[in-house]
Structure 1
């Protein structure tokens, strides 16, 4: 076919070169992606060219300001963010020290000592440079600001605590907006980066609580501070509000619902207008209020005779409540999906059947786990490492710490879990999974936000107390002590 078309093209070219050119042009036009077409229907579809910072620099501040306005005034935006905070942070993501001794076993004594020191440091008077928020409240605040503002700068300062460590959260507008060359590095929107785009420092302006900003800036190295944000492109250096994708839709639905509310209020007022074809002579005879306006009253079942030439008209604001409800539900679903959540959890409205609700919850939990991992990796871990360093500087850790930092900084983070939808089925499934070795008690407890060691310790206390009081606890299984026989007996038991 290609050879035949070439012959045809050549013949047309000999007869009419212009027609041959047009033929080739139209054929080439059919070979591009539909998404790249520039026709009447796509003329207002503007492509986004440039690096992440080129595209975001002119919009970042406006988006952040509008997101904060939504935080203050939009119940829908706040409901979505609260759902995220409630499921990701909850009462707090709690660390468990996992230092091991030379034999590879957990060093229980040292781990308890570290966790006790952490519990003291995590209180507001130590964790927060302002002395207002606990570490777990700082977790929530940092994630909230990352969602609304797109970023938050976390400064690890040596002031404000009995240990040489406190946390200072610095808001996005304090990061300088300058983009200049700084030695071999470049400063792009206040972030100093290497030629490969690796951050090495943040240039921060000083402001008081009322927002009065100093022209002097402070250079905070990445050893002192880190910028918490969720990059979407390799060239992205600063964050953009995570609500940017749905912010316009949130504003539109808020405006729509306000307009519908006004229409409902007008309809509830049942406004009546009296019109007259006569001059003002009859109107002058009507009783009037203190401001001189005609005073006409209405009462249930009242029959009022009008003067000749007068008639009554009723205000009829066109309003369809069903349309408003459908529009609200549709837009809420789109907003929720843009944030990676279901509309059920955003609007707190479980309207589907059990299977649909369960599937939505499972998908939501995937989103929450992903965010939990992000918070642990990029917020909790840098602070934990700084805390362990501070413990060493305070003389609370062994002298070999500097040579074995990784060993002493081992930690597991216990994030909040979720309640079971069908407890009977899920408990039985977990029991079988533990028996078959597919999971562990630690994993099962962690999924519900509990410490497996604390569960066992509490269970032992309950068993001992029940035995002391002569109460029988209805446990499905009891812990049995291990008894060791001779080798033959042990082998026989293993084989049998």
Structure 2
């Protein structure tokens, strides 16, 4: 064989040739996926996960999710409490209108703009707190509708408001001044029907660009269910159906789904844990004391009764009949003795329900007291973790969800508030604020059209600049604080250092800075100028005050 010839490698059909690895080098690493490396394990393989459009996920799960959410909200106390906390954090007692219109090109100076805004805000407040004026049924105020919309959001993931306009005859009959009326409609009254040929997606008609044109509601009239199509907007472009939902949670979805859907399993686990713990505790309480007896069981009695049928031992020197007679007599005597003892225990046993009685136990018996072992050491940590998971999903603090403030400190409470408060503000801007804004715009359109609220240029100027005129903010409750004194000092430092403004600080407190400033001016005029009292809005320079007056009105003698 030639020394320079290379060895030939025989390769069988269907096999891959072996890769030659240089001597002294490590084999090349096999490429592996960077994600889901353990996808073949049982933990992940049992989870059925697919990729599809968001509206399909919502469409298939929304009905069942809303039914479970309503069930938990109606029958689970701590979930109902969390719902109340969500409403308090998001809406509070009301959302206050804070108009921010751009009227610079409509002939308004800053003073006229401020005066006009105060007029509109005052009229809106009177309208929104009068059920006869704002509600079609004359029962609910606007703040109550916003509360109901938040409950619909927790159960359905969306809320609906329908606007209507009463005729002059109806206004005269009800003795009301305005015609704009709002109605809160439960989302299940908009069945999730789909007909792509008609452009109907989950109960909403859309045009070629995907914009809603009509909503197909189901209304009950005269005992029958009838479909009723309501246009999304009227001829003037004012919304007639207000559909609010968190569209960022499920991009591409036409309808919403309950934000509680990810924690249904957690809520059910907590209820199951509570039920099992209660059942164990009751069982241990019922059997808190037992009698430990050496008496034989039912099987032992049966064994004694069949003892007489056995053959005699080899050492027995009598007859078989004598053996059976002797055994039968012993068995009969034992059964009689135990029967008498059982009857005695029935009549004179231990009864823990009686306070003053001496019980007698049989020979060899012992009264044993049991200590309840429920809940165990793992109950509190596990149940607290379930509540924390639910609170984190819904968007409330863990302490407010559990009402357990053990171990809470100023720093921990501030950290909780700093984490949850942006979620509450975001939720406010997504759900109740757009609903209130839609109602306010329709109301303001009527008020300017009828001349009850003046506007330069009349209704035509307002209609041409509707977006600029109606631009507003909705202020909710104040941000929670762990220590009001420390929070006030922090606000003073921010203002002093130029890191904040009076508008920002008042917004954190749920107030309007202009109203606060004007109220302070009115109070100072009455207190200082009319009554001659010290200015309460200035820092006192010592106990004697700025003029040297003591607390009791006396003055210190002047130095010689």
TM-score interval w.r.t. the shorter chain? 0.7 to 0.9
Matched residues in 2 for 1:35 and 1:152: separation? 42
**If the length of structure 1 is used for normalisation, what is the TM-score?**
0.81
Q: Which runs of 5+ in 2 are unaligned?
A: 1-7, 19-28, 234-239, 297-334, 541-560
Q: 1:448 to 1:297 in 2, by over 3 A?
A: closer
Q: Secondary structure at the match of 1:177?
A: coil
Matched residues in 1 for 2:345 and 2:484: separation? 73
Aligned to 2:309: none
1:121 aligns with 2:127: yes
Q: 1:314 to 1:19 in 2, by over 3 A?
A: farther
1:450 aligns with 2:467: no
Match of 2:162 among 142, 150, 155: 155
Aligned to 1:204: 217
Does the CA contact (< 8 Å) of 1:125 and 1:131 recur in 2?
yes
Q: Deviations over 1:370-420 (max 9, x none)?
A: 112223553222222111112133332432322332343233322211254
Q: CA deviation at 1:39?
A: 4.0
Aligned to 2:232: 222
Q: CA deviation at 1:152?
A: 1.9
Aligned to 1:383: 439
Q: CA deviation at 1:353?
A: 2.6
Summarize the alignment of residues 431-470 of structure 1 with structure 2, pairs less than 5 Å apart: 431-467=492-528, 468-470=530-532
Q: CA deviation at 1:352?
A: 2.8
Q: Deviations over 1:111-158 (max 9, x none)?
A: 333223212321222222222211011111101210122222211111
Aligned to 1:321: 376
Q: CA deviation at 1:45?
A: 1.3
1:404 aligns with 2:465: yes
1:267 aligns with 2:284: yes
Does the CA contact (< 8 Å) of 1:97 and 1:412 recur in 2?
yes
Match of 2:476 among 395, 407, 415: 415
Q: 1:219 to 1:435 in 2, by over 3 A?
A: same
Q: CA deviation at 1:449?
A: 0.9
1:31 aligns with 2:33: yes
Matched residues in 2 for 1:141 and 1:394: separation? 30
CA RMSD between the two structures: 3.4
Matched residues in 1 for 2:265 and 2:134: separation? 37
Matched residues in 1 for 2:38 and 2:162: separation? 45
Q: 1:455 to 1:16 in 2, by over 3 A?
A: same
Aligned residues: 456
Does the CA contact (< 8 Å) of 1:205 and 1:213 recur in 2?
no
Q: Secondary structure at the match of 2:378?
A: helix
Does the CA contact (< 8 Å) of 2:164 and 2:181 recur in 1?
yes
Aligned to 1:475: 537
Q: Secondary structure at the match of 2:200?
A: strand
Q: Secondary structure at the match of 1:322?
A: coil
Matched residues in 2 for 1:217 and 1:28: separation? 62
Q: CA deviation at 1:426?
A: 3.5
Q: 1:420 to 1:341 in 2, by over 3 A?
A: closer
Q: 1:320 to 1:358 in 2, by over 3 A?
A: same
Structure having greater relative contact order (Cα 8 Å, sep ≥ 6): 2
Matched residues in 1 for 2:385 and 2:221: separation? 43
Match of 2:449 among 393, 412, 416: 393
Matched residues in 2 for 1:213 and 1:316: separation? 61
Matched residues in 1 for 2:182 and 2:290: separation? 65
Q: Deviations over 1:282-316 (max 9, x none)?
A: 5456778xxxxx99455458542234586666677
Q: Deviations over 1:34-76 (max 9, x none)?
A: 1682444422111133222322323211111111111111122
Matched residues in 2 for 1:421 and 1:445: separation? 18
Does the CA contact (< 8 Å) of 1:13 and 1:19 recur in 2?
no
Matched residues in 1 for 2:480 and 2:59: separation? 42
Q: Deviations over 1:98-120 (max 9, x none)?
A: 45462441524433332232123
1:331 aligns with 2:331: no
Matched residues in 2 for 1:257 and 1:166: separation? 46
Summarize the alignment of residues 118-267 of structure 1 with structure 2, pairs less than 5 Å apart: 118-122=124-128, 123-159=130-166, 162-181=177-196, 183=198, 186-207=199-220, 214=225, 216-223=226-233, 224-231=240-247, 232-267=249-284
Q: 1:375 to 1:256 in 2, by over 3 A?
A: same
Aligned to 1:370: 426
Q: Secondary structure at the match of 1:119?
A: helix
